């Protein structure tokens, strides 16, 4: 539901920007598109994956063009992107949201489930070969996600922050208008396309992940289309009552960040267990790095709570 709230609202905002639709109407259109993608995935993973790959390509291309058009300073990019700064609780909230949006805890389960029945290693060498392909796949996927997030930050900083327009982020339709005004006439359209493609892609992934979790952990099977309708309901309610979609989007991503430890900590425990993993058990260095990363994410979440309630 948290994924759908973010991505469904994002897709609706994309449609609203592109076609000047009321948000609730855009949400209903997004629902139709989501069910269409789901029906395609039901006919086979290959078709669904081809659509998702095409949408991800559209996101990357859109933001790549935005960065190319923006007056970007290389030194400022390096300093602003790779040197973390958390000056206030709002910055911490956005940082935690970016982590949740990039990692997405449910995808940890989905990625494993999608490959279980496709490739089965009959011996140790075959399993290691599959593992190497999986490693490359994860690195590519996370790199793309990271580049997309960095591109958004770089574009926002170059176009809005340097001009003193620091409050436009509260409304993404205003962001699209601002991009068209201050960057390029078509920049707002590119932003809308990226929002729409991102929303459809991530909500489809979230639906598949929900299916994996329900069947594999809770051992309950709910009809996929019915569960899809249930999970998109909160997003439609947010759009119907006129709540701030941008604020709801950020908060849902923060919620995802709080879910990361519940996926990451068991994962670290399992993958360092030789009885469970056999020859593919984590190296000591890998386990140490994983513990450090998990601890940093937990600490950042706790820091956000402390700033929110006691700061």
Helix (H, G, I), strand (E, B) or coil at 87: coil
pLDDT at 179: 92
What are the angstrom distances between the C-alpha of 209 and each of 39, 107, 112?
A: 16, 6, 10
pLDDT at 236: 87
pLDDT at 275: 92
pLDDT, one tens digit per residue, over 75-93 is 777 777 677 778 888 888 8
Q: Pick the residue with more confidence: 196 or 115? A: 196
Q: What are phi and psi of 88, to 5 degrees?
A: -155, 180
Cα separation, 19 vs 17, in Å, equals: 6
Q: At what angle do helices 187-213 and 45-69 cross, to 10 degrees?
A: 150
pLDDT at 45: 65
Q: Mean per-residue pLDDT for 230-234?
A: 85
For the CA atoms of 76, 82, 86, 89, what is the dihedral angle to 10 degrees? 100
Do 235 and 28 contact (CB within 8 A), yes or no?
Answer: no
Instruction: List the end-to-end C-alpha distance of the chain, in Å, as a whole number.
Output: 29
DSSP 124-136: HHHHHHHHHHHHH
With vertex at residue 264, the alpha carbon angle to CA 262 and CA 268, rounded to the nearest 5 degrees, is 125
Cα separation, 27 vs 122, in Å, equals: 47
Q: Can you read off the two tokens belonging to residue 281? A: 């058990």
Cα separation, 173 vs 25, in Å, equals: 15
pLDDT cut 70: percent of the chain above it: 95
pLDDT at 118: 63
Q: Kindly give, in sequence order, each residue whose CB lies less than 8 Å from that of residue 12, ignoring residues fewer than 6 positions away.
A: 23, 26, 27, 29, 30, 199, 235, 239, 245
Average pLDDT, the chain: 84
pLDDT at 117: 64
pLDDT at 25: 92
pLDDT at 289: 95
H or E stretch at 5: helix 2-19
In sign, the C-alpha dihedral spanning 307, 90, 26, 156 is negative
What are the angstrom distances between the C-alpha of 169 and each of 4, 113, 220, 258?
A: 20, 36, 40, 22
pLDDT at 65: 92
- For the cut 70, the answer to whether the pLDDT of residue 276 exceeds it is yes
Q: Token pair 């629902």 is at which residue? A: 31
How long, in residues, is the chain? 311
Do 199 and 9 contact (CB within 8 A), yes or no?
Answer: yes
Q: How confident is the model at residue 285 (pLDDT cuts 50, 70, 90)?
A: very high
Q: Measuring CA to CA, which residue among 229, 228, 300 is closest to residue 261?
A: 300
pLDDT, one tens digit per residue, over 22-57 is 989 998 898 888 788 777 767 766 777 788 888 889
pLDDT at 38: 75
pLDDT at 307: 85
pLDDT at 8: 81
Q: Mean per-residue pLDDT for 112-128?
A: 75
Lowest mean pLDDT among 27-36, 158-167, 182-191, 246-255: 158-167
Q: How confident is the model at residue 308 (pLDDT cuts 50, 70, 90)?
A: confident
Q: Measuring CA to CA, which residue among 267, 277, 219 is closest to residue 108?
A: 267
pLDDT at 311: 65
Q: Mean per-residue pLDDT for 270-299?
A: 92
């Amino acid at each position: 539901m948290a994924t759908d709230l973010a991505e469904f609202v994002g897709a609706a905002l994309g449609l609203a920007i592109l076609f000047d639709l009321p948000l609730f109407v855009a949400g209903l259109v997004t629902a139709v598109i989501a069910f269409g993608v789901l029906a395609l995935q039901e006919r086979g993973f290959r078709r669904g994956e081809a659509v998702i790959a095409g949408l991800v390509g559209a996101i990357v291309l859109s933001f790549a063009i935005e960065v190319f058009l923006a007056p970007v300073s290389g030194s400022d990019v390096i300093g602003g992107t790779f040197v973390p700064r958390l000056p206030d609780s709002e910055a911490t909230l956005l940082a935690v949201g970016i982590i949740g949006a990039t990692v997405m805890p449910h995808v940890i389960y989905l990625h494993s489930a999608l490959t279980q029945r496709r490739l089965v290693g009959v011996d140790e060498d075959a399993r290691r070969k599959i593992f190497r392909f999986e490693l490359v796949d994860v690195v590519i996927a996370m790199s793309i996600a990271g580049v997309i997030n960095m591109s958004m930050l770089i574009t926002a900083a170059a176009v809005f922050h340097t001009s003193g327009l620091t409050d436009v982020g509260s409304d993404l339709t205003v962001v699209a208008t601002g991009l068209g005004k201050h960057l390029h006439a078509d920049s707002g359209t590119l932003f809308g396309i990226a929002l729409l493609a991102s929303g459809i892609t991530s909500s489809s992934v979230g639906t598949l992940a929900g299916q994996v979790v329900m069947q594999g952990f809770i051992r309950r099977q709910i009809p996929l289309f019915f569960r899809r309708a249930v999970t998109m309901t909160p997003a439609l309610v947010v759009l119907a009552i006129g709540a701030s979609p941008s604020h709801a989007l950020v908060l849902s991503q923060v919620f995802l960040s709080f879910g990361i430890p519940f996926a990451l900590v068991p994962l670290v425990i399992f993958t360092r267990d030789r009885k469970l993993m056999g020859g593919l058990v984590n190296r000591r260095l890998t386990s140490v790095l994983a513990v450090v990363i998990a601890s940093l994410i937990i600490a950042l979440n706790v820091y956000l709570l402390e700033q929110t309630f006691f700061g």
